[in-house]
Amino acid sequence: MKTLFDLARKLDRKKISSHQLVEHCLANIEAEDGEGGSVFVSVYRQRALAEAIAADVARREGRQASVFAGIPISIKDLFDVAGEVTTAGSHVLDDQPEATHDAPIVQRLRSAGFIIIGRTNMTEFAYSGLGINAHYGTPASPYDRHTRRIPGGSTSGGAVSVSDDMAAATIGTDTGGSTRIPAAFCGIVGFKPTAARVPLDGCIPLSQSHDSIGPMANTVTCCAVLDSIMSGSDDIELSGYPQVGLRLGVLDGYVMEGLDPEVQSAYHSVLDRLGKRGILTKTVNLPELEKYNAHSNKGSLIGGEAFAWHRKYLQERHDHYDPWVRERIEASESFSAADYVETANRRTACQRETQKRCIGLDALVLPTVPLIPRPVADLVEDGELARKINLMNLRNTSVANVLNAPAITIPCHEADKAPVGFMLIGQPFEDRKLLSIALSLEPIIRRD
């Protein structure tokens, strides 16, 4: 599928049709030896084909919605689609009423001409960084597929839909790393915006203070296009940031503990390549962030907000939850209002002090996930191991969520080696600057 601009050019030059693109994706989704059955919870086969035919006609007549009209993408099973029940990778909401209209981000993507080919599987209620789903199955990371390793969560199916050419790009959510973890584990790019930039209406929440909506795709440019459309911006074009004078803060401390050898090797190779290109780096420690994380052992804003939303369903639909997910949500029942206020204040203070420490830096860098994807079977069989690996998966990505900062992961591993992501974090609301920096550094990070 390559990039959105590659596809747009081919469509414009009549080298390929939207109908062919959709048929290609559907063939991959429906392949008997593929992952489609666990990647998608629903596939819009007939609607997608009809929209593709309409897009081809509109392009021939010169009235296409945009250059991207007719390109198939997927969306996470968290977003409202008119006439359907939004199930969030669960059976808890099966008896809820159908959505009366599309979520704003779905409306904006459709208005730009994108064809939504289906809703992708996810961790139940987005509450895990593993990507395991006890209800709909677990799609495997493209790496070492014979072993069947976790795809990362919570936007698990979305990432695999892109890596396996079932969609040109996908839309997920990110509360603690849910676009960037699966992107890292599936060898693609994942972007988390500053939370307030993309409307959350029509999206089932996990945490109102941390949720954000972001894209995953094959390149930085693809993510920038989708982010621009979803945020309501007209700024589609993205230019690379000047490398001369660029200053990166290399985050040290707890985020560098316990790295798998493959992660450590790939990450430090990127730092070496950046140095050889004259990119300025400075080691940075964020003690306020470490203190905040230590305090959060008492409970988290995410956990408290998740329990508040789920309390009714835990009472009425208790047995419909995956017990592993349910227990994690119920663990926050004792998180009091006073705990919540204290934690929120600590988060604000942490954000303020961290911004002071990062004055003069254009972005922070760190490994996206400290581990490579673990075998699914090991984590399904051992709940305690699953909890441990889940916390490690979320540890580095959650830095950006605590700071409410934009962040992006770019694959940095060698071909055919275990997938590793290199993450850049910017300043809140400087999303386009971060994307511009990522575009400039992408060839270096990818070993191109």
Residue 295 confidence (pLDDT) = 79
Q: Beta strands 280-284 and 169-173: pairing type?
A: unpaired
Q: Which of 18, 156, 178, 207 is catalytic?
A: 178
Per-residue model confidence (pLDDT) at position 298:
61
Look at residue 294 in the predicted model and tell me its pLDDT: 82
The residues, any chain, with a CB within 8 Å of residue 158's CB and separated by 6 or more, are: 74, 75, 76, 120, 122, 170, 171, 172, 179, 182, 216
Cα–Cα distance, 432 to 437 (Å, whole number): 9
pLDDT over 70, % of the chain: 99
Could you write out the three-class secondary structure of 98-137?
Answer: CCCCCCHHHHHHHHCCCEEEEEECCCHHHCCCCCCCCCCC
Residue 388 predicted with pLDDT over 80: yes
Residue 15 pLDDT > 90: yes
- Digit-coded pLDDT (tens) for 61-117: 999 999 999 999 999 999 999 999 999 999 999 999 999 999 999 999 999 999 999
Residue 143 near residue 187, CB atoms below 8 Å: yes
pLDDT tens-digit profile of 306-354?
999 999 999 999 999 999 999 999 999 999 999 999 999 999 999 999 9
pLDDT in tens, 349-378: 999 999 999 999 999 999 999 999 999 999
Write out the H or E segment, with its range, that includes residue 347.
Answer: helix 337-357
Q: Report whether pLDDT(448) > 70.
A: no
CATH topology of domain 1-284+360-448: Amidase signature (AS) enzymes (3.90.1300)
Longest CA–CA separation in the chain, Å: 62
pLDDT tens for each residue of 397-434: 999 999 999 999 999 999 999 999 999 999 999 999 99
**pLDDT at residue 235, rounded to an integer:** 83
Q: Where are the domains of the chain?
A: 1-284+360-448
Predicted confidence at residue 299, as pLDDT, reads 76
Q: Which two tokens stand for residue 142?
A: 């493209």
Q: Quick one: pLDDT at residue 248?
A: 98
The reply to whether 212 belongs to the active site is no
- Please give the pLDDT value at position 373: 98
pLDDT score for 374: 98
Catalytic entry in 18, 38, 154, 163: 154
Q: What is the pLDDT of residue 297?
A: 60
pLDDT digits (tens, 9 = 90+) for 200-210: 999 999 999 99
Beta-sheet strands, E only, within 218-373: 247-251, 280-284, 363-367
* 135-157 average pLDDT score: 98
Q: In the structure encoding, which two tokens stand for residue 397, read together?
A: 């990505």
- Bridge partners (DSSP) of residue 251 are 284
pLDDT recorded at residue 29: 98
**233 in active site:** no
Summary mean pLDDT of the chain: 97
Band (pLDDT 50/70/90 cuts) for residue 174 is very high
Look up 15 and say whether it is catalytic. Answer: no
What's residue 250's pLDDT? 98
**Catalytic one of 18, 38, 74, 76:** 76
Residue 212 to residues 119, 204, 215, 227, 366, Cα–Cα distance (Å):
18, 11, 10, 11, 20
Q: Render pLDDT for 25-69 as a digit per residue (tens, 0 to 9).
A: 999 999 999 999 999 999 999 999 999 999 999 999 999 999 999
Between residues 6 and 234, the one the model is more confident about: 6
Is pLDDT larger for residue 448 or for residue 114? Answer: 114
Q: Global pTM? A: 0.98
Average pLDDT over residues 373-397: 97
pLDDT at residue 169, rounded to an integer: 98
pLDDT of residue 447: 80
